[in-house]
Amino acid sequence: MSESDLSCFDFVTPGGNRHLKLEEGARLIQSMGLGQLQATQLPLHQVMGRVLAEDVIAPFNVPRQVNAAMDGFALKGDELATSRDWKIVGQSFAGHAFTQPVEAGCAVQITTGAPMPSGTDTVVMKELCRVESDQLHIDQALAVRPGSNVRQAGEDMAEGSLILSRGQRLGPVEVGMLASLGFAQVKIYVPLKVAVFSTGDEVRAPGDALADSSLYDTNRFTLMSVLKGLECDVSDLGILPDDEQVIEEALRSAAQQHRLVLTSGGVSVGEADFVKQALNRLGQTSFWQLAIRPGRPIAFGDLGLNQEGETCLFAGLPGNPVAVMVTFCVLLQPLIRKLQGETEWVGLTWMARSTETMKSRTGRSDFHRGIFTITENGELEVRTTGHQGSGILTSMHEANCLIRIEEDRDRIEVGDRVRIYPFSRWLPGYPLV
């Protein structure tokens, strides 16, 4: 994309700086080459949250046999129209099938999940049955629909059908499906190697002493947590001082071993903001500065090839903790999922009615931290968490969504509809459903 393509830069600061639109930045990030993904076989108990590297075809029907959906008596449904009494000829329990054919006028006691004996097609619930020695009596026989309370073979997963596709992230349900099909192991993409640094002379590791005007490192911990939630192989590379040489050397070395390097801080226009200079020298800058808030100064590019011959991508996130979370959610999460081989993921968004006025600036996408609720009429409403400073991390804690104010709006009125990004799916640290 050329700098002269002005349509991509519809936000210009008073100083004349042009900023790339959010969607353009997101498109550039998502266009980064995928390369060859490595895969490995893993036992089932290790695949939760990981991305499947093969299609899964059902090797047999689940359930394997026609079986009872209720505890009761198996009989031939046609007979319910004319009879009230049956002779009990045996039992079919889960794990202990009744193997002989059932003659006319006969019934078999059956438990949920047990195979239907041949000659039967209906289960009458135990609650409707009266038993005297080997005689079954059903008063309300006409009320029982022939064929009811029976589960068909393959009604869940049919033999030969595609059950899960390559590129699918496995949640608890998918792991259970694989287990039902008897797979003790499956092919999974190897974890994405991601390095995380914090930068800044003022930043201290939790546990260390604080000096005057220093603060504890938040960003390395939020980033490592969301990356682990996405099942990345995370390297904690600590805190870098505001030293051009040190930053450049650390990035050069991290680029060798990783597919993605993330830093926070040092990407704005301050005297000690060296990260983007290092990026320019080591590789290429794709963009720096997006028309979003928070997260405006974000440097994205690559640091050249790693040891495996893959391009090591780089994102220099702003220092403010909320800007880190918002840029991660909106821009990096889709990239990371793609680099992990995930193909189907789309972030969930809803429209909600705002219950308060919100201010923004035309040409810029603002992300406020929001709390959505559902009214008695089932309508989605949203309000902000209050003060929206990008250093106020508790606003993320209080929120259950991000509220996006689109580029063409400078104000949201009470009653206006806004797009919200609910957190449960959006933030990878939350359950992956």
Q: Give residues in contact with ligand LQZAQKY5 (CB under 6 A).
A: 198, 200, 202-203, 215, 217-220, 264-270, 273, 294, 296-297, 318-321, 323, 390-391
Rounded to an integer, what distance in angstroms lies between the CA atom of residue 77 and that of residue 75? 6
The DSSP secondary-structure symbol of 329 reads: I
Is residue 21 a contact residue for ligand MOO (CB under 6 A)?
Answer: no
Report what 217 binds from ligand LQZAQKY5, ligand MOO, none; CB cut-off 5-8 Å by kind. ligand LQZAQKY5
Among 154, 200, 266, 295, binds ligand MOO (CB under 6 A): 295
Is residue 266 a contact residue for ligand MOO (CB under 6 A)?
Answer: no
Among 50, 293, 338, 368, binds ligand MOO (CB under 6 A): 293
Locate 162 and state its tokens. Answer: 């595609």
Locate 74 and state its tokens. Answer: 């198996």
Among 111, 149, 218, 390, binds ligand MOO (CB under 6 A): 390
Residue with Cβ nearer ligand MOO (293 or 368): 293
Locate 363 and state its tokens. Answer: 């040409």
Q: How many residues of this chain bind ligand MOO (CB under 6 A)? A: 8
User: At closest approach, how far in Å is the CB of 37 from ligand LQZAQKY5?
Assistant: 31
Contact stretch for ligand MOO (CB under 6 A) within 217-225, 242-250, 294-302, 307-315: 294-302
Q: Please name every residue paired with 272 in a beta bridge, in sequence order, or none if there are none.
A: none
**H or E stretch covering 283:** none
Contact stretch for ligand MOO (CB under 6 A) within 93-101, 200-208, 290-298, 336-344: 290-298
Tell whether the torsion through CA atoms of 207, 211, 215 and 217 is positive or negative: negative
Is residue 404 a contact residue for ligand MOO (CB under 6 A)?
Answer: no
Which residue, among 318, 332, 321, has the nearest Cα to 218 in the 3D structure?
Answer: 321
User: At closest approach, how far in Å is the CB of 300 from ligand LQZAQKY5?
Assistant: 13
Residue with Cβ nearer ligand MOO (25 or 294): 294
Is residue 294 a contact residue for ligand MOO (CB under 6 A)?
Answer: yes
Rounded-to-5 percentages of helix, strand, coil across the chain: 20, 30, 45
Q: How far is CA 432 from CA 26, 171, 229, 425, 427, in A?
A: 22, 6, 9, 6, 9
User: At closest approach, how far in Å is the CB of 316 from ligand LQZAQKY5?
Assistant: 7
Contact stretch for ligand MOO (CB under 6 A) within 240-248, 278-286, 315-323, 413-421: 315-323
Residue with Cβ nearer ligand MOO (193 or 409): 409
Is residue 333 a contact residue for ligand MOO (CB under 6 A)?
Answer: no
Is residue 395 a contact residue for ligand MOO (CB under 6 A)?
Answer: no
Scan for tokens 């003060």, then name that residue: 387
Report the b/e string of 88-108 with b at 16+ CB within 10 A.
bbbbbbeeebbeeebeeebbb
196 three-state secondary structure? strand
Q: Which residues are CB-contacts of 185 (< 8 A; sequence separation ≥ 6)?
A: 41, 42, 43, 44
Rounded to an integer, what distance in angstroms lies between the CA atom of residue 354 and that of residue 253? 47
Is residue 320 a contact residue for ligand MOO (CB under 6 A)?
Answer: yes
User: At closest approach, how far in Å is the CB of 255 from ligand LQZAQKY5?
Assistant: 20
User: At closest approach, how far in Å is the CB of 31 from ligand LQZAQKY5?
Assistant: 24
Rounded to an integer, what distance in angstroms lies between the CA atom of residue 369 and that of residue 382? 10
**H or E stretch covering 385:** none
Residues found near ligand MOO in the complex (CB under 6 A): 293-296, 318, 320, 323, 390
